[in-house]
Amino acid sequence: MTHQHPSLGTPPALPEGGLRIVALGGLAEIGRNMTVFEFAGRLLIVDCGVLFPEDSQPGVDLILPDFDYIRDRLDDVEAIVLTHAHEDHIGAVPYLLRERVDIPLLGSRLTLALLEAKLKEHRIKSISLEVKAGQREKLGPFEVEFIAVNHSIPDALAVVIDTPAGRVLHTGDFKLDQLPLDGRITDLNAFARFGDSGVDLLLIDSTNAEVPGFVTAEREILPVLDSVFLRAEGRVIAACFASHIHRVQQIIETAVLHERKVALVGRSMIRNMNVARELGYLNLPKNVLVTVDELNSLPDDEAVLICTGSQGEPMAVLSRIANRDHAIQVGPGDTIVLASSLIPGNENAVHRVINGLSRLGADVVHKGNALVHVSGHAAAGELLYVYNLIKPRNVMPVHGEWRHLRANAELAIRTGVKRENVVLAEDGMVVDLVGGLASIVGAVPCGFVYVDGSGVGDVTETSLKDRRILGEEGFISVFVAVDTVEGKVVAGPEIHARGFVEDDKAFDEVVPALLEAIEDALRSGVSDTHQLTQLVRRKLGKWVDATHRRRPMIVPVVIEA
């Protein structure tokens, strides 16, 4: 496999005393976060997440980081450090542990608990170490300390990595909400303390670098939810990420205020909320939670459902409701709340769900028409604040598409970081920190690894292209039987199509031309069925293109009689 950076050669050997950083996901994309740090022949991994497929990747369930770079060096991995429990940061851990199950996992209490529930589904028993903010651990040549940060899930951590090559601070996903629901703010004192003693390289969240100012506080959502419930005549169905414990808490508190009962719907939602409840991160008032069956026996104006599907995922509860493919049916009087922001690439899927629900008569409330969600990522004002606190020598924007990375880079430069000390990289680029300077020194192969059902890595770009053709252009099969001795066609050409034309008689016009071309080839001495197959494909393909302006998949079958 070739990498996507042909202008960059294979990286040289890491200089003695240098630190190497290779992102295998999370750069120039939203998701699949995974960064490998190398020092003195040992590796440390921060996060190991998944990316969710787009419409152009039909049949794909998940996209993993490309483990090829470390596959032959798994024994060198000291640990996987997890910043928080979102899927784009922990979702690929089970797939990496399949290759070496005893890699130690470090994370906060909630992060490890949610991951453990996921690992059970994969039948993997892990080795894990629960850590807290302020805790320091030695992992081979790496000394790691953890900092509390505020995000859209509790218990998120930033990570400080100390080596003789220098100090790296990886923020993970964070924001500076000064009135968080759980009272756990980003530890700016720790940021300042490390800044005063020196940070050689800052890897910093870029998702909202284009958004001016500060992100709205989570508490501002409660009055909006209250007004939505006040207007709702029937049931309220709220969709959010299955990991967004704060949002679920707010919806439950609002339901209690309006004397409504709540049911959780969706396997991942029920699993995560059970974990959060057991650990004390989700506080449930007495008798508020009921089953779906119990909720169905209540009047509509006393019912609230909290489900998955805020990103338009085809198999999630809300999408199935919108498609009338779920036991829960909605109609006039029902209010649907999409309590999340759009992940880039999911816009069409979410809009389809909104339109489907609106068609059924439901009132759909979403971030576009009400403040029912705030981001979990720092906006430009917050990023500037952090740059001025930490005063990093080098900066590497992470977690974002190219526009986010560039916007974040400009913010760093405005606060005094030298332009030459800002590293703009994407997946597979190799960054070395040597002598206090971070620079790109090469690139390694780093592609998409697709999960399709139980298969991992079996789907290639070629097979995805075939799927797109089948979905967009249709399929034509051609059967021909030939007598190569007599030099004539003895059966066919018989043409059938799917997803192209309704009536196969549309091909009657081209059959004589195909027959003539095949027999001409036979008379001229062509007897190889593969050559005849290619001839049929070319001849029929030209006719289809000229007549219908389409390029379907054409599968000819030529056999000897």
Domain of 442: which CATH number?
A: 3.60.15.10
Range of the domain at 302: 218-365
Q: Do 160 and 105 share a structural domain?
A: yes
pLDDT tens by residue, 13-63: 999 999 999 999 989 988 899 999 999 999 999 999 987 765 555 556 678
Pair (388, 344) in one structural domain: no
Tens digit of each residue's pLDDT (9 = 90 or more) over 209-248? 999 999 999 999 899 999 999 999 888 988 888 888 999 9
Residues 131 and 201 in one domain: yes
- Higher pLDDT among residues 313 and 97, named by residue: 97
Let me know if residue 8 belongs to a domain: no
Last residue of a domain, one of 421, 452, 483: 452
Residue at 150 is within a domain: yes
Least confident of 296-305, 325-334, 379-388, 489-498: 489-498
Per mean pLDDT, which of 88-97, 178-187, 296-305, 378-387 is the most reliable?
378-387
Q: What is the pLDDT of residue 57?
A: 58
What CATH number has the domain bearing residue 475?
3.10.20.580
The residue ranking higher by pLDDT, 464 or 74, is 74
Look up the CATH number of the domain holding residue 318: 3.40.50.10710
| Average pLDDT for 504-520 | 75
Residue 2 included in any domain: no
Residue percentage of the chain with pLDDT more than 70? 89
**Contacts for 379 with CB less than 8 Å, ≥ 6 apart:** 175, 208, 209, 211, 212, 213, 214, 215
Give yes or no for a contact between 210 and 407, defined as CB atoms under 8 angstroms apart. Answer: yes
- Same domain for 37 and 182: yes
User: Do 245 and 391 have their domain in common?
Assistant: no
Which pLDDT does position 503 carry in this prediction? Answer: 62
pLDDT at 125 over 60: yes
107 lies in the same domain as 250:
no
Per the domain annotation, does 243 fall within a domain?
Answer: yes
Same domain? 243 vs 335: yes
10 assigned to some structural domain = no
Q: Are residues 136 and 29 in the same domain?
A: yes
| Residue 176 included in any domain | yes
* 20 φ/ψ angles, rounded to the nearest 5 degrees: -110, 140
Which range scores top for mean pLDDT: 102-116, 285-299, 530-544?
102-116
> pTM for the complete prediction?
0.80
pLDDT of residue 525: 73
Q: Is the dihedral of CA 162, 163, 167, 168 positive or negative?
A: negative
Boundary (domain end) residue, out of 452, 480, 505: 452
Asked if residue 36 lies in contact with residue 27, where contact means CB atoms within 8 angstroms, the answer is no
Which of 341, 365, 389 is the last residue before a domain boundary?
A: 365
Mean pLDDT, to the nearest integer, of 103-128? 93
For 331-378, write each residue's pLDDT tens digit: 898 898 888 776 666 677 778 888 888 888 888 888 777 777 888 999
Judge if 485 and 448 occupy the same domain.
no
User: Residue 189: is its pLDDT beyond 70?
Assistant: yes
What is residue 342's predicted lDDT score, i.e. its pLDDT?
Answer: 63
* Number of domains making up the chain: 3
Instruction: Give the DSSP letter string of 145-214.
Output: EEEE-B-SSTT-EEEEEEETTEEEEE--S-B--SS-TTS----HHHHHHHHHH--SEEEEE-TBTTS-S-
Check whether residue 361 and residue 273 sit in a common domain.
Answer: yes
Residue 150: pLDDT over 90? yes
What gap in Å lies between CA 121 and CA 421, rounded to an integer?
44
Is 90 exceeded by the pLDDT of residue 292?
Answer: no
Residues 554 and 437 reside in one and the same domain: no
Q: Is the pLDDT of residue 403 over 80?
A: yes
Which tokens go with 73? 């060096």
Q: What percent of the chain has pLDDT over 90?
A: 51
* DSSP annotation of 371: -
Judge if 209 and 308 occupy the same domain. no
